[in-house]
Structure 1
Amino acid sequence: MLALKAENISKQYRLGQVGTGTLSHDLNRFWYKVRGKEDPYLKIGEANDRSTKGDSEYVWSLRDINFEIEQGDAVGIIGRNGAGKSTLLKLLSKVTKPTTGKIYTNGRIASLLEVGTGFHPEMTGRENVFLNGAILGMTRKEIKRKFDEIVAFSGVERYIDTPVKRYSSGMYVRLAFAVAAHLESEILIVDEVLAVGDAEFQKKCLGKMNDVTKGEGRTILFVSHNMAAVKQLCTSGILLKNGQVAHRGDINSVLENYIINELSPNSEFRYIEDLNKKAQIRKVKVYNNNGVETTEFGHSDDINLDISFINREVKGGIRVNIAVLDKFENVIFVTRKVFEEKNENNFTIKIEGGKLIPNTYMLSVAIDTPAVELYDIIKGGIQLNIIETGHENFLTGDTENGIITPPVLWI
């Protein structure tokens, strides 16, 4: 049975304006409509590519989206920032209307699109549970039956009679998620808001969403930049690029497509100065023992990293963290080095050959202090491809996670 169907849906915005922008444009649209002609502004919009300037004042946030989702499916929607993921969820949640196309739904929808969606800041947590439930189409009897379970899951029982305007963002999202997940809607739509919660709560949420799909047969649409969470929860996926569907299929094929075609395979990070950052990474370059910049290494090849950063304001020690992640963003290993106060630093590290099994990895570099105040991070911008050379030996070490005793040499 179908839970959701999107049929040629598109969403157009006029840059710098709310709605269609001007009275003259609205009148022009009306004039074309009464004459039975197509909206003239549907012909002039440009694709939602934020990397190019463009000439039109109209932009397509989404364009010609088609898909069907079966009841009980857990679907991950992934893509770069600005690809149209949140806009798609807003259309499916009926927060906004599509410019063209139709959306068919079978059942009630509970959506969590941003922290505190549907909450009134002056009302208490208790009152907001009933308000939010009513917005989702639940009866008071249904809400009362689930109330104790909602409060217990959220972990904010002590503050349930406190106005939510005094809640932290973490408390907000805990209660909002608990309401959306526990009330008896057939479709649950969750945006990246779970990133606000701590690691323990994120794990708890993923467990609940697993129960919702596998145990209760409800449908979930999940947007996240955490590829490991998407892989764990979802069975199928939709990859968006510049407002269009770039790939649709089982979750493994969608993630592979995203990693190979969307994440930058560059061997060097491109620095853009940001004077608002107290410390900033200026260069991350990857090269082999011959000095050739590359992202592809044989199993036995050394991987050399040339890194530089600038410290503008941080006093005392500052540290650089280098992590290798697998294609689902699970950390394989991390190493770090502490630097004394100095405006500019440049250093090289070497990851010895033979330590990473053939696979695709991503490099993450971050600057913070021992008190764990983060100043800058590069994640997923550089890809490492380890290929088989015919001399691999995986008899020792943790090959399941892709690493065998990873020594890192600082130079």
Structure 2
Amino acid sequence: MSDIAIKFENISKQYRLGTIGTGTISHDLNRWWHVVRGKEDPYLKIGEVNDRSSKATSDYVWALRDISFEVKQGEVLGIIGKNGAGKSTLLKILSRVTSPTTGTIKAKGRIASLLEVGTGFHPEMTGRENIYMNGSIMGMTKAEITRKLDEIVDFAGVEKYIDTPTKRYSSGMTVRLGFAIAAHLEPEILVVDEVLAVGDTEFQKKAIGKMQDVSRGEGRTVLFVSHNMAAVKNLCRTGVYLENGTVKFAGGIDDTIDYYLSLNQIESTVILEKKKFKNLYTAKIDKIELLDTSTYKSKSAFKMGENIGIRISFSIPETLNDLGVTVRMNDIYSNGIAAWRTKETGFTIDYKKDLSLYLEINNLNVFDGIYNLSFSLVNGKETIDFLDNAISFEIVASELEIFGGRAMTKSHNLIYTPCKWIEE
């Protein structure tokens, strides 16, 4: 017997832009006339790539184009990609929320989906009634649902509100109950979109633990979409990277994440054409580059605890003999987190007209997120040039050995500082 749980065969999905429905009456009549004559739909030959950042030049767009891959039974597959890549559309087709324009999906077993907050819930029905309704839709008997009811309610943590209409639930409560139903009603295939990001940290941890139990302990298949790379890496074994509606990479989850990070980076080089800091000097910072410390190639996405290289180029026409440089790291609110100063480390800068410095920051233990760097060039106590939040970089959650092999996540800090506890 085949061990393939899901097989995607040349799945494509086309949407018409700007209007509701498939198109105008003339388009529908044209389609019908081609079908009557046994011809191909004429609008399948047109349409543009699903690039949300570019201006449309056609009335049609391919949200997905020729998607083909297989998912084995008991496999946990992570689907990653930028917003608009087609991840949710693919899961909606699998969950039969919408149908593909071309291609087929073969799935073995019952599918439970958690695609959006409140998906499948009737707002006027209570939480308890929605549990029974969802279970019935999945083909379960009333006795089976009753047997699981207490476990679902306990996992969701909404016992006080279980007999309250779900229209009065917060988004977090709705996600809690929706996930509990999807995970506990014994589906062969569990499909989870980005909705877990709505829940709090405690629930996210419970949800990931439950998905691990479902896949590893019970041998069920899980498809997981998330922008949280730590959660994807912690949960999934294999991955698929989507870009503009097509599969760009498929393989082991580590390789998939590395491929994604290598392609989707913030600008890693800033070249400054003219001086903006007003003073009597013409000396200025010319260029800033973020680098991989092992290859010295441009890079702007780093894992937690990874070394970061920064190359700073200066133009200094004046003869200045007490030069100093400060690099300050800021969070997205421009709050200073850390700073590295040449003078504090005893590093002496030899004057050159075209000066270049390289800074290597070792084991930067900050949690995942976007950070900015500010740069100062001083002579003695006088500031010669200053660039505030000149360049950004991303820290991606990781499971590096320095964290004990565990996936570290944000709590209330920005910096993770290793420590040791000793009982005396």
TM interval, shorter chain, is: 0.7 to 0.9
Q: Which of residues 327, 337, 342 in structure 1 aligns to 2:303?
A: 327
Aligned to 1:119: 121
Name the TM-score, length of structure 1 as normaliser. Answer: 0.73
Aligned to 1:255: 257
Partner amino acid for 2:24? T
Aligned to 2:378: none
Q: Which of residues 42, 45, 50 in structure 1 aligns to 2:44?
A: 42
3-state SS of 2:180 partner:
helix
3-state SS of 2:67 partner:
strand
Change in Cα spacing, 1:405 to 1:154, as seen in structure 2 (3 Å) is closer
Aligned to 2:21: 19
How far, CA to CA, are the matches of 1:363 and 1:212 in structure 2?
A: 30
How far, CA to CA, are the matches of 2:172 and 2:94 in structure 1?
A: 25
Aligned to 2:30: 28
Equivalent residue pairs, number: 334
How far, CA to CA, are the matches of 1:31 and 1:174 in structure 2?
A: 48
Q: Which of residues 87, 90, 108 in structure 1 aligns to 2:89?
A: 87
How far, CA to CA, are the matches of 1:260 and 1:266 in structure 2?
A: 12
Determine if contact 1:325/1:363 at 8 Å carries over to the other structure: no
Deviations 1:17-75 (A, max 9, x none): 23312121111111111111111101111000112213111000000000000000000
* Distance apart, 1:86 and its partner CA: 0.4
Determine if contact 2:371/2:393 at 8 Å carries over to the other structure: no
Aligned to 1:229: 231
Deviations 1:342-389 (A, max 9, x none): xxx999974464542499x976149xxxxxxxxxxx9x963589xxxx
How far, CA to CA, are the matches of 1:348 and 1:183 in structure 2?
A: 46
Aligned to 1:382: 393
Deviations 1:216-255 (A, max 9, x none): 0000000000000000000000100000001000100100
Determine if contact 2:183/2:210 at 8 Å carries over to the other structure: yes
Deviations 1:106-163 (A, max 9, x none): 0000000001111111111111100111122222121111111001100001111111
Determine if contact 1:109/1:189 at 8 Å carries over to the other structure: yes
How far, CA to CA, are the matches of 1:105 and 1:400 in structure 2?
A: 35
1:133-212 aligned within 5 A? 133-212=135-214
Aligned to 1:372: none
Change in Cα spacing, 1:133 to 1:168, as seen in structure 2 (3 Å) is same
Unaligned runs of 5+ in 2: 272-283, 309-327, 342-358, 373-388, 397-401, 409-414, 419-424
Unaligned runs of 5+ in 1: 270-288, 302-323, 340-344, 367-377, 386-396, 407-411
Partner amino acid for 2:266? S
1:364 paired with 2:359, answer no
User: In percent, how many aligned pairs have the same letter?
Assistant: 58
How far, CA to CA, are the matches of 1:90 and 1:32 in structure 2?
A: 28
How far, CA to CA, are the matches of 1:225 and 1:37 in structure 2?
A: 41
Deviations 1:76-107 (A, max 9, x none): 00000000000000001111000000110100
Determine if contact 2:330/2:337 at 8 Å carries over to the other structure: no
Change in Cα spacing, 1:58 to 1:358, as seen in structure 2 (3 Å) is same
3-state SS of 1:5 partner:
strand
Determine if contact 2:301/2:394 at 8 Å carries over to the other structure: no
How far, CA to CA, are the matches of 1:202 and 1:168 in structure 2?
A: 16
Partner amino acid for 1:356? N
3-state SS of 1:147 partner:
helix
Partner amino acid for 1:14? R
How far, CA to CA, are the matches of 1:174 and 1:35 in structure 2?
A: 51
Change in Cα spacing, 1:162 to 1:27, as seen in structure 2 (3 Å) is same
3-state SS of 2:30 partner:
helix
Q: Which of residues 295, 311, 325 in structure 1 aligns to 2:290?
A: 295
Determine if contact 2:301/2:395 at 8 Å carries over to the other structure: no
Structure (1 or 2) with the larger CA radius of gyration: 2
3-state SS of 1:292 partner:
strand
Determine if contact 1:111/1:180 at 8 Å carries over to the other structure: yes
How far, CA to CA, are the matches of 1:186 and 1:157 in structure 2?
A: 27
